[in-house]
A and B are shown apart, each in its own frame.
Chain A
Amino acid sequence: MEISTELEKRCDALIAQYPRKRSAAMMIMHAIQEVHGYFDDDAIRYAARKLEVEPIEVYGMLSFYPMYSSEPRGRIHIKVCRTLSCAMLGSIKLAHEISKKIGCPIGSTKGVYTLEFVECLGNCARGPSVQVNDKLFDKVAPEDAEKFVEKLGAMDAAGELASQSTDSAPAGGGDFNSPSYRGEVMAVVENRIIYEHIGLGDWNTSIEKYMSAGGYGVLRDTVKRPRQDLCAEMEKSKIKGRGGAGFPTGMKWKFLDRKSGKPIYLVCNADESEPGTCKDRQIIYEDPHKLIEGIMCTAYAIDAAQAFIYIRGEYINGYRILVEAISEARRMGFVGAGVCGSGYSCDITVCRGAGCYVCGEETGLISSLAGGRAYPRIKPPYFPAVMGLYDCPTVVNNVETLCWVPIVFSRGGDSVSKIGNPADPGTHIWGVSGLVQKPGCYEINSGEATLGELLYDLCGGPLAGRRFKAVIPGGSSMKILKWDEKFILKNPDGSSREIRTEDIPLDAPSFQACGTAVGSCGVIVMDNTVDMVEALANLNQFYAHESCGQCTPCREGTLWMSRITRRISEGWGREEDVELLANIADNICGRTICALGEGAAWPTQSNVGKFREEYYEKIRRQQTVGGQARCDNNAYRLI
């Protein structure tokens, strides 16, 4: 492998953005792969030399993150999302159709093509999603596979699929430009605060546009205010983190160890990778300055020495948009030295992930950003607020959460705390995907609508001739709800009432009272055509693929569960598998290093628990027919 001076320069520039050399690992590996195509021994040794690490450490990362490859890939690299929301819309069949058309088996490279299944692309509301090189394609129906392949051929011939090696944002906001999504907004219950600019006809990502809408005004005021007041406002607002765990943001800031004398870091978690979740993508792709203003307000409030955005690797144009937007903001004095003319300086570095769900876990993200395998860290001692990035005090906040910060600073914590349900104030952006008429992202005041209103009024109800069967309310890790389930909810006056799933108010306490959680508000909708065993098999495969493998229960348990559900799906279920599945999930839950252990166990626990009879029926049916007929190839398959 020949190292061009251009690559050398690019690597050096990347390294310069990080306080520690090896922190540039993710980006340098992307840069090398972009130029060289894949990693051979030379490329690994080059990366190791640049990062001053051992080759085994580079190889450890290379083999951990699926976006890096140790083999050459085709010029047209087709990645079909196989995770639940896309799978329910036919992505499994789509991949097989594409495979037939291009003559390339799934998971292999043939000629100019590489075809593979990938886990959730974060485009759940517009599936089936296919990413080809850097381009994302929405709603590629399996019936259109032939047309799709022809289109790819034409685009390839026209050079439109070539990977863009420049770090600038393509005009018009990149690949998130589907008009089908825009405008389908029923203003009746939507209250667009975070999404105020999303979907506006004349909106674009330029800083001029953002400033003409009053953007960066809050930052200008913020840097004149005492930090204590700002943190107090955040605490008063009672805004909870929007990443999934729902931890109060003000409290998170309060836990920061400010006495250590070490620099404080702010990390924006833009690794949106919970299946069913695609809310942050819109902010990044369409309103990047809103996020940047949020980051800078937060950075000032917590006195961060440097801010990072860790964006998932699949959001490649999102990365370019952010880099461009940050350089605009830097030019205007909002980022970098002397923010808004104040004495406070802080820069933002954007780091790309490379296909790893565990990077959404804040300590896993920190491990990845520090330049390693994304292993979550044990707590104690590695509480981010005390021992975070480089073992320094660190705040990790989600994209949507950070966008709340300027709103809290300008409107005041008290005022924000009165939006929606006071126990969970603010709005939630519900990313609805799966089998509904109008999937999409809907921003609604907390608790001011019900799940039924969201799914029927905003999303148009079930597909023609179908009935809702089940809903996963907060991203695939949250416990599933049967559509005909009944719950007891407490009224504010202390009395209680019985409600059905569709009556659940859209806020955190209500879902919690129903035995599940709002998580990242990614609502995955399943109707009566969905085989629940197949749905679980699909998710179990996701967790087995995404388990980082650090701690025993999740490493071994997720693959075991996946192998069992796949075996049942293939026609070889045993009745004892049902209880075994539930027991394996119980043995993972609560015994892992990070919370994703629970996240991997809850789907099985709830799905098996609530649809137990469906499992037994399926298995008994398989046993009755026997032989090859056990596996009904025409049946609804999700893996």
Chain B
Amino acid sequence: MEEKQRVNINVNGGEYSVEAGQNVLEACRGIGVEIPYFCYHPSLKVAGSCRMCLVSIGMPARDRATGALLKNEDGTAQIAWAPKLSIACGTKVAEGMHIVTDSDAVKSCRQSVLEFLLLNHPLDCPICDKAGECKLQEYTHAYGRENSRYVERKNVKPKHVDVMGKIMLDSERCIECSRCIRFCEEFIGRSIFGFVKRGSRTEIAVYPGGDNDSNYLLNVVDGCPVGALTEKAFRFKMRPWFLKVTDGICAESSAGVNTRVWSRNGEIYRVTPRRNDEVNGMFMSDSGRYVHLRFNDANRLRQPRIDSTSCDLGYAVSRCMEILKLGKVAIVANGWQTLEEMFVLGELSKACGAEVYMVSHLGEDDGKLVSADRTPNMRGAFVTGLLKDYPPADLSLLAQKIDSGEIATVLCLRENLMGLGLTPGHFKAAHIIYCGSLENPTSASAKICIPLRSEFEKEGMWINRQWRVQKFSKAVDAPDGIADDSRFLLSLLGEYTSSSWSDTSVRSIREAMVSRITMLSGCADVGPNGVLIDSSSFAGIEFPEGKAYHFKGQE
């Protein structure tokens, strides 16, 4: 990384060296000085309209004739202060800049902006879904007045406006920050929200009856600093302060969007984007927010089964081993497995001499944060040696081998074999062991079914389309009776190798994997931005991601 230029600035009397090129707001944030703001958004163009981030800014004074820096009597630089307060979001730091964020003028300004914003605001925090994560509420507590001086009537604006069935718009709560408008213009590429009317009667609106949908629309809810735009699916379900937040990676595609998973008592209430400027900026797709619903329905595989009869997990696993020992094994892996699981699976395939099959899951590439490869970790299969070439769309090769008797046992992880070229006849010809989270035609016909965890119920690492290794945490506990994926695979592996794994934690597998696979040597402790690995050895492989390959949440 090239060294970024730095400038010296003075904030509230203290001298700091900060990265050049950033705005005053970000520079102050970087040194721990909070400047409140509503309309500014790091990923959107500067609007400068809320006036909350006004601060005093001065530059070293220069002699008009000679250009020489002017000094005070005590030798310090003379500062020419701007006659008015300046917006911190729209002002870039410069060498020698003086910034004051704690003067009476600044405090009075913040207080008055908050007072103005609350004049026509309904003050309905108790019934507002944004309460607890509302900037207006937070700043009012931190910088606002204690009382209201407003005795006039309030403006009446549209409430309960349904936006494409996804969002509820309450114009009375809106503070006209224009983030939703700018997001649609700049990220989605078309105007969906817009200002209508004028002055204090200004409202945000969508054009009635129009096609206002986009798979990125819900980002305006995350961006809304107040309760004007709330997500219908989450509305009134749970106060945010009751929710546990864990860091996730979106399983929707190989984009590897960083997420926050909000849960309580084992139930996921919402998924929101987590900022990663190298991957997804501050945004994610709407469809990605609901990936967890796949595992929430009645289709969940909850009980181990042998020949359609429920049984104990331990017994099911021991039967698996017996069948595998018969030989002629094929393993069907999948792109949702964690790197750690793939690593163990690779060891297992070597130990039992099994061939590994995978299939591709392709969809339309939207050029943004949903890429053509709809699995989150196909590249992990290359790194762990499961794959040499990009896999085909079905398992016709496996079907042939069952037909020819070369394969007698299939250990299938997650994939629905019935939809991929195998027929009920193949299920009779070979022993099919299905391990997965959901019921499907394969689980219905398989000899043995082992219920496994969803990606929200385990931790691990995935490699996204950029060859970035990213870590995600376990958000919720799996339902009772469901096997721990890696422990299950390790116990199978234990049948073949003498060295038993005393520690079956993901961490211990990761340590072994990192020490064994040189490409992953830097991935023992992956930070929040992930680790880019050297992918040059896979340069010859054609991956399906198109234009979205280098998309980072902003163009």
- Whether chain B is bound by chain A comes out as yes
Q: Interface residues, chain A, CB within 8 Å of chain B?
A: 41, 44, 53-57, 59-60, 63-64, 373, 378, 380-381, 544-553, 555-560, 563-564, 567, 574, 580, 587, 590-593
B65-91 contacts to A, CB under 8 A, are 83-85, 87, 90-91
CB contact under 8 A between A56 and B207, given known A552-B117, A590-B84, A592-B51: yes
| Contact yes or no, A41 B209, CB < 8 A | yes
| Contact yes or no, B191 A53, CB < 8 A | yes
For the residues of B in contact with A, the DSSP-based class is loop
The residue in B85, B112, B175 that gathers the most chain A C-beta atoms within 10 A of its C-beta is B112
B178 and chain A: residue at smallest CB distance = A550
Assess whether B169 is interfacial by the CB under 8 Å rule: no
| Contact yes or no, A556 B117, CB < 8 A | yes
| Chain B residues within an 8 Å CB radius of A378 | 46-48, 87, 90
Assess whether B200 is interfacial by the CB under 8 Å rule: yes
Assess whether B194 is interfacial by the CB under 8 Å rule: yes
Distance between B178 CB and nearest chain A CB, rounded to angstroms: 8
A64 and chain B: residue at smallest CB distance = B198
- Complex CA–CA separation, A44 to B207 (angstroms): 10
- Complex CA–CA separation, A239 to B117 (angstroms): 41
Assess whether B120 is interfacial by the CB under 8 Å rule: yes
The residue in B48, B108, B109 that gathers the most chain A C-beta atoms within 10 A of its C-beta is B48
| Chain A residues within an 8 Å CB radius of B155 | 559
The residue in B47, B116, B198 that gathers the most chain A C-beta atoms within 10 A of its C-beta is B198
Interface flags, B235-262, vs A, CB<8A=1, else 0: 0000000000000000000000000000
Distance between B117 CB and nearest chain A CB, rounded to angstroms: 6
Top 8 closest pairs, chain A to chain B, by CB: A587-B112, A549-B202, A556-B116, A56-B194, A559-B200, A378-B48, A56-B207, A563-B152
| Contact yes or no, A59 B194, CB < 8 A | yes
Distance between B141 CB and nearest chain A CB, rounded to angstroms: 18
CB contact under 8 A between A593 and B48, given known A53-B191, A64-B197, A552-B175: yes
13 sample A-B contacts, Cβ–Cβ < 8 Å, listed by A number:
A55-B207, A56-B206, A60-B196, A63-B196, A64-B197, A64-B198, A378-B87, A549-B201, A550-B176, A556-B117, A556-B120, A560-B152, A590-B83
- Complex CA–CA separation, A41 to B52 (angstroms): 37
| Contact yes or no, B200 A56, CB < 8 A | no
| Chain B residues within an 8 Å CB radius of A593 | 48-49, 51
B205 and chain A: residue at smallest CB distance = A56
CB contact under 8 A between A560 and B194, given known A551-B49, A587-B112: no
- Complex CA–CA separation, A548 to B120 (angstroms): 16
| Chain B residues within an 8 Å CB radius of A553 | 51, 112-113, 116
B48, B194, B199: the one contacting A559 at CB < 8 Å is B199
Assess whether B501 is interfacial by the CB under 8 Å rule: no
- Complex CA–CA separation, A546 to B199 (angstroms): 7
| Contact yes or no, A549 B112, CB < 8 A | no
| Chain A residues within an 8 Å CB radius of B195 | 60, 64, 373, 549
- Complex CA–CA separation, A64 to B514 (angstroms): 61
A54, A552, A556: the one contacting B192 at CB < 8 Å is A54
Other than A552-B50, A587-B112, give 9 A-B pairs with Cβ distance below 8 A.
A54-B191, A56-B196, A57-B191, A59-B194, A63-B196, A373-B195, A552-B51, A552-B52, A587-B108
CB contact under 8 A between A552 and B207, given known A56-B193, A558-B200, A563-B152: no
| Chain B residues within an 8 Å CB radius of A41 | 209
- Complex CA–CA separation, A63 to B152 (angstroms): 25
Distance between B398 CB and nearest chain A CB, rounded to angstroms: 50
The residue in A54, A56, A60, A557 that gathers the most chain B C-beta atoms within 10 A of its C-beta is A56
| Contact yes or no, B197 A551, CB < 8 A | no
Assess whether B153 is interfacial by the CB under 8 Å rule: yes
- Complex CA–CA separation, A545 to B198 (angstroms): 8
- Complex CA–CA separation, A59 to B198 (angstroms): 12
Distance between A297 CB and nearest chain B CB, rounded to angstroms: 31
| Contact yes or no, B207 A549, CB < 8 A | no
| Contact yes or no, A57 B194, CB < 8 A | yes
| Chain A residues within an 8 Å CB radius of B193 | 56
| Chain A residues within an 8 Å CB radius of B192 | 54, 56
Assess whether B119 is interfacial by the CB under 8 Å rule: yes
CB contact under 8 A between A548 and B206, given known A556-B120, A567-B152: no
Distance between A580 CB and nearest chain B CB, rounded to angstroms: 6
| Chain B residues within an 8 Å CB radius of A591 | 51, 54, 84-85, 109, 112-113
- Complex CA–CA separation, A518 to B331 (angstroms): 86
Distance between A568 CB and nearest chain B CB, rounded to angstroms: 11
A374 and chain B: residue at smallest CB distance = B198
Interface flags, B23-67, vs A, CB<8A=1, else 0: 000000000000000000000001111111010000000000000
| Chain A residues within an 8 Å CB radius of B210 | 54-56
B46, B83, B108, B200: the one contacting A556 at CB < 8 Å is B200
- Complex CA–CA separation, A591 to B51 (angstroms): 7
| Chain B residues within an 8 Å CB radius of A560 | 116, 119, 150, 152
| Contact yes or no, B194 A544, CB < 8 A | no
- Complex CA–CA separation, A555 to B121 (angstroms): 13
Assess whether B388 is interfacial by the CB under 8 Å rule: no
| Contact yes or no, A564 B202, CB < 8 A | no
| Contact yes or no, A555 B194, CB < 8 A | no
| Chain A residues within an 8 Å CB radius of B516 | none
- Complex CA–CA separation, A346 to B201 (angstroms): 40
| Chain B residues within an 8 Å CB radius of A54 | 190-192, 194, 207, 210
Distance between B106 CB and nearest chain A CB, rounded to angstroms: 11
| Chain A residues within an 8 Å CB radius of B200 | 544, 547, 549, 555-556, 558-559
| Chain B residues within an 8 Å CB radius of A57 | 191, 194
A576 and chain B: residue at smallest CB distance = B149
| Chain A residues within an 8 Å CB radius of B194 | 54, 56-57, 59-60
A60 and chain B: residue at smallest CB distance = B194
Distance between A584 CB and nearest chain B CB, rounded to angstroms: 8
Distance between B239 CB and nearest chain A CB, rounded to angstroms: 28
- Complex CA–CA separation, A574 to B149 (angstroms): 12
Distance between B387 CB and nearest chain A CB, rounded to angstroms: 45
| Chain B residues within an 8 Å CB radius of A59 | 194, 196, 205, 207
Distance between B276 CB and nearest chain A CB, rounded to angstroms: 28
- Complex CA–CA separation, A408 to B192 (angstroms): 49
| Chain B residues within an 8 Å CB radius of A55 | 207, 210
| Chain A residues within an 8 Å CB radius of B87 | 378
Interface flags, B97-113, vs A, CB<8A=1, else 0: 00000000000110011
Distance between B93 CB and nearest chain A CB, rounded to angstroms: 13
B85, B202, B205: the one contacting A590 at CB < 8 Å is B85
Distance between A65 CB and nearest chain B CB, rounded to angstroms: 8
| Contact yes or no, A63 B90, CB < 8 A | no
- Complex CA–CA separation, A465 to B52 (angstroms): 51
| Chain B residues within an 8 Å CB radius of A64 | 195-198
| Chain B residues within an 8 Å CB radius of A60 | 194-196
A549 and chain B: residue at smallest CB distance = B202
B91, B151, B176: the one contacting A555 at CB < 8 Å is B176
| Chain B residues within an 8 Å CB radius of A550 | 49, 176
B204-223 contacts to A, CB under 8 A, are 205-207, 209-210
| Chain A residues within an 8 Å CB radius of B108 | 587
- Complex CA–CA separation, A544 to B151 (angstroms): 17
| Contact yes or no, B198 A547, CB < 8 A | yes
B89 and chain A: residue at smallest CB distance = A378
- Complex CA–CA separation, A550 to B199 (angstroms): 7
Distance between B521 CB and nearest chain A CB, rounded to angstroms: 45
CB contact under 8 A between A552 and B198, given known A59-B205, A560-B150, A593-B48: no
- Complex CA–CA separation, A56 to B169 (angstroms): 16
| Chain B residues within an 8 Å CB radius of A559 | 120, 155, 199-200
- Complex CA–CA separation, A54 to B208 (angstroms): 12
| Contact yes or no, B116 A552, CB < 8 A | yes
Distance between A531 CB and nearest chain B CB, rounded to angstroms: 21
Distance between A143 CB and nearest chain B CB, rounded to angstroms: 34
| Chain B residues within an 8 Å CB radius of A549 | 176, 195, 197-202
A592 and chain B: residue at smallest CB distance = B51
| Contact yes or no, B119 A556, CB < 8 A | yes
| Chain A residues within an 8 Å CB radius of B202 | 549, 555
